[in-house]
């Protein structure tokens, strides 16, 4: 392997990346660089081929000439996407390159000469709460016409803090959940991670625009973890509480937060039509109003509760 030929190792790669990030102020202030690994989960060839074929179909449907673009695979890894790209129009970037034809650099501090006519495609590292994946998307957006990336499940959330809403200058075109065994580790062993394949194109990101039900119900987060303690001041005013995370059996509305599992959930203060709204929420199928997360649990976000209410007709005037 190229990394072995150059006597590179993880420590060298991390040092290079951290120096580049520090100089360019890449990481948010709350990120401890010493705790951010290389996140090496390689895409299997057949999954990469399916994703690339979907990108080609997307371009054809738009009437775009696929041969007119330059292709960039960030965090190129084993080259699963790179091997599919036009030989004369491809660039692979990796801080720990496994091939001689990859550029040794951190993608977030690298840019192509041409600022248009590019497609960025690949499987970036995810990072805690998807911060690193979002950084890859937003950096790619500076010079890409289209982006096709494997992204963490957080990118399907319509909640207020979803990374999907923080993509700059790109519009989401398509999103689908990948098969769970789409990745292998550096030793070639199957890794089961839930993830999405999304295609983005230049344009306005309108994903955060939504209808509100705040005239009917006030929602607030309750978290009893010491590092994220919140919501205690309003707990006495709540009519109901709802659990955030579940695995098999969807949660029900409960009167006491002590009945909420996993110490995190939501408080609901019903402002109008209390009996009617309570009945509606008790009949909601939370399997339909939740997202599958990376490790096979499901998350109900504040957006999902709002969506369930809006779908029931409880909409601000």
Q: Where in the chain is the domain with CATH 3.40.50.150?
A: 3-202
* 3-202 is a CATH 3.40.1030.10 domain: no
Does 88 score more than 70 pLDDT? Answer: yes
pLDDT band of 209, cuts 50, 70, 90: low
Rounded distance between C-alpha atoms, residue 199 and residue 126, angstroms: 16
Does 114 score more than 90 pLDDT? Answer: no
Lowest mean pLDDT: which of 80-89, 126-135, 239-248? 126-135
What pLDDT is stored for residue 3 in this prediction?
A: 47
Rounded distance between C-alpha atoms, residue 292 and residue 73, angstroms: 27
Dump pLDDT digits (tens) for 25-58: 887 777 777 777 677 788 999 999 999 999 999 9
DSSP state for residue 262 in the 8-state scheme = G
Residue 13 backbone dihedrals phi, psi, to 5 degrees: -65, -40
Q: What does pLDDT average to over the chain?
A: 89
CB 282 within 8 A of CB 252: yes
User: What residues contact residue 47 under an 8 Å CB cut-off, 6+ apart?
Assistant: 80, 178, 179, 182, 183
What pLDDT is stored for residue 208 in this prediction?
A: 64
Residue 267 backbone dihedrals phi, psi, to 5 degrees: -100, 145
What DSSP assignment string belongs to 178-197?
Answer: PPS--EE-TTS-EE---EEE
Does 159 score more than 80 pLDDT? Answer: no
Per-residue b/e over 293-312, b at no fewer than 16 CB within 10 Å? beeebbbbbbbbbbbbbbeb
**Maximum C-alpha span of the chain:** 70
Does 246 score more than 50 pLDDT? Answer: yes
């Amino acid at each position: 392997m190229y990394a072995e030929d150059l006597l590179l190792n993880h420590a060298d790669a991390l040092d290079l990346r951290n120096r580049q990030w520090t100089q360019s102020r890449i990481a948010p202030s709350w990120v401890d660089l010493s705790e951010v690994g290389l996140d090496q989960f390689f895409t299997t060839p057949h999954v990469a081929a399916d994703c690339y074929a979907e990108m080609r179909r997307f371009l054809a449907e738009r009437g775009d000439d696929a041969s007119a673009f330059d292709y960039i695979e960030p965090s190129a890894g084993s080259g699963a996407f790179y091997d599919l790209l036009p030989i004369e129009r491809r660039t692979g970037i990796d801080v720990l390159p496994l091939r001689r034809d990859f550029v040794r650099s951190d993608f977030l501090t690298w840019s192509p000469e041409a600022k248009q006519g590019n497609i960025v495609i690949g499987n970036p590292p995810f990072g805690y709460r998807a911060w690193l994946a979002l950084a890859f998307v937003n950096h790619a957006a500076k010079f890409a016409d289209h982006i096709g990336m494997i992204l963490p499940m957080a990118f399907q959330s319509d909640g207020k803090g979803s990374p999907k809403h923080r993509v700059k200058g790109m519009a989401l075109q398509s999103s689908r959940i990948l098969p769970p065994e789409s990745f292998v580790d550096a030793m070639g062993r199957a890794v089961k991670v839930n993830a999405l394949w999304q295609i983005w194109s230049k344009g306005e990101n309108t994903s955060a625009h939504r209808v509100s039900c705040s005239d009917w119900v006030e929602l607030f987060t309750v978290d009893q973890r010491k590092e994220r303690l919140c919501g205690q001041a309003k707990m006495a005013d709540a009519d109901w509480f709802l659990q955030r995370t579940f695995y098999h059996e969807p949660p029900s509305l409960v009167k006491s937060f002590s009945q909420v599992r996993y110490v995190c959930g939501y408080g609901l203060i019903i402002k109008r039509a209390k009996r009617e709204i309570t009945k509606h929420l008790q009949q909601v199928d939370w399997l339909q109003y939740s997202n599958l997360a990376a490790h096979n649990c499901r998350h109900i976000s504040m957006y999902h509760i709002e969506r369930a209410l809006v779908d029931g007709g409880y909409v601000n005037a």
